[in-house]
Amino acid sequence: MLENRNEIKDEFKWDLESIYKNEDELNKDFEKIKNLLEDIKKYKGILGESEDNLYQTLNLYEQISRLAENTYVYTHMKQHEDTRDTKQQSLSGKSDMLSTQIGTVTSFMIPEIISIDEEKMNEYLNNDKLKPYKKLIDQILRKKPYTLSPKEEEILAMSSDVANVAENAFDMLSFADIKFPEIEDEKGEKVRLTHGNFSKFLQSKNREVRKNAFVNMYDTYTKYKNTFAATLEGSVKREIFYAKARNYDSAIQASLFEDDINLSVYDNLIEVIAKNLDTMHKYLKLKKEFLRLDEIHMYDMYTPLVEKLDIKKPYEEAKEIILKALKPLGDEYLELIQRAFDEKWIDVYENEGKKGGAYSWGSYDSHPFILLNYKDDLNSLFTLAHELGHSAHSYYSRKNQPYLYSHYKIFVAEVASTLNEQLLMDYMLKNSKSDDERVYILNYYLEQFRTTVYRQTMFAEFEKIIHEKSENQETLTNEEFCNIYYDLNAKYYGKDVCVDDEIGMEWARVPHFYSNFYVYKYATGFSAAATLSHNILSGDSNAVDKYLEFLKSGGSEYPLNQLKKAGVDMEDEKAIQIALDTFKELVDELEKSK
């Protein structure tokens, strides 16, 4: 039985009062934002008439955005403490509506900035007041070929709520309406299958439990196959619509343009992984041998190789391990991690109604916050290290960049978190206490490669195929989705795996397919982190300094340039290959452990 929120000790809760002490303070900021929105409206149509008008508009937008970030982050984190709390639901809903309103009211800015004559804009930027906004204006001017008239931009901004209907319908169907059947657990007791316990069942030592969970999960999804196909196709069409409306060549170009990423980076990832599938196939063959199976099925993928070992990592011990593992990053970094532990950045344990999973969040004016549901196991230890990486990246970005350039791009968002995990893995392999523990940790690390590099690349290839088909006016039916997805699984997992028919429906379970062309960033981020951690652990004297500078650069540059300065060129296939070479070495090491 889970504890209620008020039963959790304060030392294990985050300190959201450091943002707003009470609802009155929150409401004052809501009112400030509304007043500022009225002020910024006055510049619609006249933004480019003088340098002062341009400055006033940008300054007001910065104030609005910074305040709105505080209200949005606070209300949603407060709701996540107990999602059943209707008052907090209402406040987070208020923030959502305000965000849409901000987008609508300020939609005139980019078209008007773009319409300013180049010579006049250069004169404006000589004004000292406008110099802090030069990078922002440069970023806006990049979008000139893809920006519409002020009225058209306003219409697109107003359409955002409608455009999210497919994703909202998916969320409601998948997480609220669907009811899964009961299955028998390891003790023979009837337990209802849920999203929350599905992954645990797939790790069960009892193969029949794994199989029943797998079959019942996808049989249930199959009953709604046409609805899920309609929601996913709707999401794909949404991205294609916005890409076409803005004159991009394709949905993928529109998505990559925001981060200034070349399509070659996306294609290289898929191609290099394809050249290294033999290592994945070797790993899965070894897995079959370790598990002593005649056939290895999709429901065996998450089964630990060491049956009897159950590594417990209580939270206090986890903190000590992480501080030791991250020692190669130097004293400055370690002091920051210690602050996260000491200053209540972390909401540690699960309680009734608390949002599941884990994340790192916060605003420019707050310290980072981490939501956990800590379970005293190895996975929780790695999750904590992962989220601390995100928090360190956010902290350094905010402390070293002005507000407008403090938000790093999603493309690099997984680098710091994954690098922390890789340093932790290196530490734990070097300090394993038995052969079984070493195999267990090796397997855990190899699974990170399988699920983060190979599997996310498979997802990326699936996304590319379905968008191209839709752009070529091909209808995406449930059957089409299933066939594409099944064939990709057969390709990625190889002939030694029995690719069960049910896996063809897995696409219907993946929320990330509604954040188009996002998942490839997990694979590229992991690969970049593998190269950077290799540089750090190999004793490169400048590697740590370059890495910390990368963390501090925030959103002041585009991601590929940031990573090049840190020591990894993601436009070069070698960046992916270095990570896969590490994977190959670990597979060979596992083979020797048989």
Say how far apart CA 259 and CA 467 lie, in whole Å. Answer: 19
Place of tokens 């969040």: 361
pLDDT of residue 172: 87
Q: What is the pLDDT of residues 419-435, one digit of tens each?
A: 999 999 999 999 998 88
Beta carbons within 8 Å of 43's beta carbon, 6+ residues apart: 53, 56, 57, 60
Q: Is the pLDDT of residue 436 over 80?
A: yes
- C-alpha distances in angstroms, 224 versus 231, 235, 373, 584? 11, 17, 30, 40
Catalytic residue check, 307: no
Most confident listed range (164-178, 187-201, 335-349): 335-349
Enumerate helices (H) and strands (E) in the chain, giving the number of each: 26, 7
What average pLDDT does the segment 81-95 reach? 91
What average pLDDT does the segment 498-514 reach? 96
Q: Which residues pair with 51 in a beta bridge?
A: none
Place of tokens 């999973």: 357
Indicate the average pLDDT of the chain: 94
Residue 284 parent element (H or E): helix 277-290
pLDDT of residue 396: 98
Say how far apart CA 158 and CA 148 lie, in whole Å. Answer: 14
pLDDT of residue 433: 85
Q: What is the pLDDT of residues 342-386, one digit of tens each?
A: 999 999 999 989 888 899 999 999 999 999 999 998 889 999 999
Q: Is the pLDDT of residue 72 over 70?
A: yes
The structure tokens listed for 15 are 């300190």
- C-alpha distances in angstroms, 394 versus 68, 132, 261? 18, 21, 22
Q: Which of 239, 387, 461, 502 is catalytic?
A: 387
pLDDT of residue 307: 73
pLDDT of residue 74: 97
Q: Is the pLDDT of residue 407 over 80?
A: yes
The structure tokens listed for 339 are 């602050």
The structure tokens listed for 553 are 């650069």
pLDDT band (50, 70, 90) for residue 266 = very high
Beta strands in 308-365 (DSSP E): 346-347, 359-361
Q: Is the pLDDT of residue 537 over 80?
A: yes
What average pLDDT does the segment 75-97 reach? 92
Beta carbons within 8 Å of 515's beta carbon, 6+ residues apart: none
Q: Is the pLDDT of residue 594 over 90?
A: no
pLDDT of residue 355: 87
Look at 407 and 1; give whichever has higher pLDDT. Answer: 407
pLDDT band (50, 70, 90) for residue 162 = confident
What average pLDDT does the segment 213-220 reach? 98
Say how far apart CA 120 and CA 117 lie, in whole Å. Answer: 5
CATH architecture, domain 20-163? Up-down Bundle (1.20)
pLDDT band (50, 70, 90) for residue 195 = confident
The structure tokens listed for 471 are 């752009």
pLDDT band (50, 70, 90) for residue 207 = very high
What is the percent of the chain where pLDDT is above 70? 100
Q: Is the pLDDT of residue 259 over 80?
A: yes
pLDDT of residue 26: 97
Helix, strand or coil, per DSSP, at residue 346: strand
Q: What is the pLDDT of residues 445-504, one digit of tens each?
A: 899 999 999 999 999 999 999 999 999 999 999 999 999 999 999 999 999 999 999 999
Q: Is the pLDDT of residue 308 over 70?
A: no
Q: What is the pLDDT of residues 442-460, one digit of tens each?
A: 998 899 999 999 999 999 9
Interaxial angle between packed helices 455-471 and 478-493, expressed in degrees from 0 to 180 and rounded to the nearest 10: 140
pLDDT of residue 79: 92
The structure tokens listed for 589 are 């090491």
Q: Which residues pair with 370 in a beta bridge?
A: 346, 360
Beta carbons within 8 Å of 150's beta carbon, 6+ residues apart: 44, 45, 107, 108, 111, 112
pLDDT band (50, 70, 90) for residue 164 = confident
Lowest-pLDDT choice from 148-157, 270-279, 345-354: 148-157
| Boundaries of every domain in the chain | 20-163
What average pLDDT does the segment 176-181 reach? 91
